[in-house]
Homo-oligomer: A and B are copies of this chain.
Amino acid sequence: MSQTPDNAVRQYIDQHSDTFLDDLKEWLRIPSVSAQPEHADDVRRSADWLTGKLKETGFPVTEVWETAGAPAVFAEWPSEDPAAPTVLVYGHHDVQPAALADGWDTEPFEPVIKGKQLYARGAADDKGQVFFHTLGVRAHLAATGRSTPAVHLKLLIEGEEESGSPNFRTLIEQHRGRLAADAVIVSDTGMWSETTPTVCTGMRGLVECELSVCGPDQDIHSGSFGGAVPNPATVVGRIVAALHDGQGRVAIPGFYDGIVELTDRERKLFAELPFDEQEWLRTAKSYAAHGEQGYSTLERIWARPTAEVNGIGGGYQGAGGKTVVPAAAFVKLSFRIVAGQDPARVEAAITQWVEAQLPAGVRHTLTFSGATRPCLTPLDHPALEAVARAMGRAFEQPVRFTREGGSGPAADLQDVLESPVLFLGISVPSDGWHAPNEKVELDLLTKGVEAAAYLWTDLAESLRT
């Protein structure tokens, strides 16, 4: 595995970094907050700005794609080599809401460089990480002397990621043909830390449901009737308790069917990460590690499926007590799922299990909301190895591997396009995604440009073999 940087790439980046940063700052000044209707025009302005900049970069095809919500940007730069593989880069140009009053030290939409950090909403999530591909592809061309990229390069930069990507799946299904790719590069994640460069290899999926249980037609007196009729709050409590067995495993029959287990190599690599559980607990604002037996905390959050209570309620909610058997109770559950688990199969298992838990005399409704599939690329996948090499060259050290515990639209890309999904990101936990004073480390941003510059040649070869 080569970890040798390329002086030509570095030189090109150095020469163009001022313009690159000026451009990025211009983009960051557009408050493209997708969740706030008053910023709808700004989101559109952001899409137009990016389209123009991609054209300027050299992409022969640049389009604004409409959705039922905010617009996405699509760009394409075919390789002169017709046999070259196709790669699709994914990111998003919308940002989280931000206001000075939230605790920002400077205006969130007035980018400012302090020392080696660029502060602005979207600096890391995700404009900075989208934008490094523009200088990246130029450096790739300059260093290799090519006039087109080594891969057929496509970009899809959506405008609703911070609003839950409500129209994303429809969008990619609609444009499935034009989006077709041999690999997807997602640039919307981070690394372990400044000193431990990493590549994410997958994300967990998500199944969400709400269970409502009804007992008596109205709250009834617990003195007159208590102890002799089913109590829906008790039923819900028992279902919550039955979700896990004594080893912290999800106790729903069939839940683990087909799961892709962690490999020994992955477990070993995770275990080698400089993980400080006490510090992690501080980040989690929690007071103990707790979960499935036989797995480390990192394995639990990255690679193991979970069942979590997000909300529970029923009966008397006011101050003091009220001696009733409640008419109804509910629980909102979410299940993180991992590679090999299918949302539809998991939902069927949950449904069957819930029905088996319910005593006579209660009625229930179980409602599932939109599920997200898991995605995972095996460590020995050639495309993943190429990403790891590109990052390794940029950082001049071998990179390590992580996963993401959360869920995102990357899985839809893997699913609809039937392509492996790779993650190329340089953000670090201190960047403050969704928080005040979001920033990106300028040195890492440059490493991102550099990794993007190395990637296409390597990937073209890896995917060809």
Seen from chain A, the residues whose Cβ lies within 8 Å of a Cβ on chain B are 204, 206, 208-210, 215-218, 220-231, 233-234, 236-244, 281, 284-292, 297, 300-301, 304-306, 308-317, 320-326, 329, 331-332, 334, 336, 359-363, 369, 404-407
CA distance A290 to B221 in the complex (A): 15
Contact status of A310 and B306, CB under 8 A, knowing A241-B237, A334-B222, A361-B288: no
In the complex, which residues of chain B have a beta carbon less than 8 angstroms from the beta carbon of A300? 227-228
- In the complex, what distance in Å separates the CA atom of A357 from the CA atom of B345? 33
B321 touches A334 (CB 8 A): yes
Contact partners of A240 in chain B: CB under 8 A? 233-234, 236-238, 240-241
Knowing A292-B227, A311-B314, say if A222 contacts B287 (CB, 8 Å): no
Could you show 28 A-B contacts with beta carbons less than 8 Å apart?
A206-B223, A206-B323, A209-B321, A220-B284, A221-B406, A224-B284, A225-B405, A226-B306, A226-B308, A227-B300, A227-B301, A227-B308, A228-B289, A228-B290, A228-B300, A231-B308, A234-B240, A236-B237, A236-B240, A236-B312, A237-B331, A287-B363, A288-B361, A308-B323, A308-B325, A311-B316, A312-B312, A320-B369
Assess whether B301 is in contact with A324, with CB atoms less than 8 Å apart: no
Smallest CB separation, A302 vs chain B (Å)? 10
Candidate in A244, A312, A406 with the most chain B CB atoms within 10 angstroms: A312
The residue on B at minimum CB distance from A298 is: B228
Closest to A320 in B: B369
Pairwise interchain contact A210-B361, C-beta atoms closer than 8 A = no
Q: Which residues of B contact A242 (CB under 8 A)?
A: 241
Q: Are B288 and A227 in contact (CB under 8 A)?
A: no
Interface contact A286-B215, CB-CB below 8 Å: yes
Q: Are A407 and B230 in contact (CB under 8 A)?
A: no
Besides A222-B336, A309-B329, A310-B325, 5 other A-B contacts (C-beta < 8 A)? A215-B287, A222-B306, A228-B301, A290-B360, A310-B321
Contact across chains for A229 and B310 when beta carbons are under 8 A apart:
no
Contacts of A362 in B (CB 8 A): 287-288
What's the Cα separation between A244 and B306 when bound, in Å? 26
* Most B-side CB within 10 Å, residue of A209, A216, A290: A290
Residues on B with C-beta less than 8 A from A324 are 310-311
Contacting pair A310 B320 (CB below 8 A) = no
Alpha-carbon distance A322/B331, docked complex (angstroms): 12
Query: Do A308 and B230 touch across chains, with their CB atoms under 8 A apart?
Result: no
Residues of B with C-beta under 8 A to A363: 287
Q: Which B residues touch A361, using CB under 8 A? A: 286-290
A5 to chain B, nearest CB (A): 32
Nearest CB in chain B to that of A299: its residue = B228
Nearest 10 A-B pairs (CB), nearest first?
Answer: A288-B361, A237-B240, A223-B406, A241-B241, A227-B306, A311-B316, A311-B315, A233-B309, A217-B285, A229-B286
Q: Are B309 and A315 in contact (CB under 8 A)?
A: yes
Give Cα A313–Cα B314 distance, bound, in whole angstroms: 6
